[in-house]
Every structure is written in C-alpha cells, then in structure tokens.
Structure 1
Amino acid sequence: MFDKLFQAQQKADEVKKRLDSISVFGEAEGGKIKVVASANKEVKEIVLDPEFVSSVDREELEELLVVAVNKALAQAENVSQSEMQAVSQDLLGGMGGLGNLFNK
C-alpha cells in the first residue's frame, strides 16, 4: 500500500514539473493583449501592444487584461485536468482491474 502511495506522489511531482514546462495563452482584442501562463496557472508574461494601450482608457485596459488572464487560466485548467486524468487512469490501471470497477 505504501508503495502505491509513494508511486502516486512521484507521479504527482512529475505532472507538476511537466505542467510547469507547458505554456498556455490567453488573448483579448484580437491579440493586442496577450497573456502567457504555465499549465500550473502561473502567469509568466503579459504583452501589450503599445499603440493599442495608448488608444484605450485605463478601465477598458483593465477589463481586457482580466479577460486575457482568465482565458489563459482556463486553458491551464484544461491542460492540468487532462494531465491529472491521465495519471489517475495510469495509477488505477495498476490496481488489478479496480480502475474499471465503475465503468461497466
């Protein structure tokens, strides 16, 4: 049993490292605002088109930044869930068929 727990912890650590290396993106206003984040939901970079920034007011810019960040984080969540699902299936598959207990 402890071997399975240790194996699960190792897999979780591997997934976290993999998620750190995956970049996801969110954009607003046709790419004039871009957000780059890791699949671990850490914002890495925000790129603003200088011409666009000078042509909008602060409130609009803030709203569009929120949109772009939320898009990047939603994409990160999707990637994270996919990775965790794959690991879960892998671990359940090693439990002597118990992984299919509810999938009849």
Structure 2
Amino acid sequence: MFGDLMGMMGKLKETQQKIEETKKRLDTITVSEESADKLLSITMTANRELKSLEINDELLQDKEQLEDYLVLHINKAIEQATKINEAELGAVAKEGMPNIPGMDMFK
C-alpha cells in the first residue's frame, strides 16, 4: 500500500514539473488576432500575455470605434490563447495523473 502511495506521489511531482515546463513553453507560442479591415492587430502568448498591439492611424480618429475594436479583438485573442493553454496543460495533467480508483475525472 505505501509503495503505491509513494509511486503516486512521485508521479504527481513529475506531473507538476511537466506542467511548469509546459507553462514556460506556452510563453513561446503566440496567437494573432486581426480585424477584418486590418486596422487593428494583436499578438499574445498562449499564457495570455499581450506582446504587441498595432493600431492603424485611421482608428485613432474615432475613440469609440477604437475602444470597440480593442475590446472585441483582445477578447478574441484571449479566447484563442485560452484554448491552446487549456489543451496543452490538460493533456499534461491527464497524462500524469496516477490511477486512483474512483478518480477517473479526466476521461
């Protein structure tokens, strides 16, 4: 029984390390979101860190339109990054979970 417990603890520690490595790797994966009219472009990492924001001068003439574009396209970029983030971290967590009876929540 204790051997199984020690094995599970080791597996959990290994999984935690893999999760940390995956988080670092997600900093190198970028997603881009661009408005259809090419007036706004956003780039962020899969860890949802904004890396660049390019605004066409035309948008600077209309504060309300700029605000609308920013909200819409930043949210779209966050959604893309979140999907990648959750898929990558979920795969690592699922792969690393020890087989504990009754705890098959990742199926």
TM bracket, shorter-chain basis? 0.7 to 0.9
Report the 3-state secondary structure (helix = DSSP H, G, I; strand = E; otherwise coil) of the residue aligned with 1:21: coil
String of CA shifts for 1:59-98, please: whole Å, max 9, x gaps.
Answer: 1111101111111100000000110121122113xx3596
In 2: Cα distance, 1:74 partner to 1:101 partner: 28
Q: Which has the larger radius of gyration?
A: 2
Unaligned 5+ residue runs, structure 2?
A: 1-7
Give 1:89's aligned residue.
94
TM-score (norm 2): 0.78
Q: Deviations over 1:5-64 (max 9, x none)?
A: 3212201111111110000112224321011000001111101122x225x410111110
The answer as to whether partners of 2:39 and 2:56 remain within 8 angstroms in 1 is yes
SS in 2 for 1:45: strand
Task: Report the RMSD for the aligned CA atoms in angstroms.
Answer: 2.5
**1:74 and 2:79 equivalent?**
yes
Q: Is 1:43 equivalent to 2:50 in the alignment?
A: yes
Find the partner of 1:9 among 6, 16, 23: 16
Change in 2 beyond 3 A, CA 1:102/1:68: closer
Aligned equivalents of 1:84, 1:39: Cα separation in 2 = 11
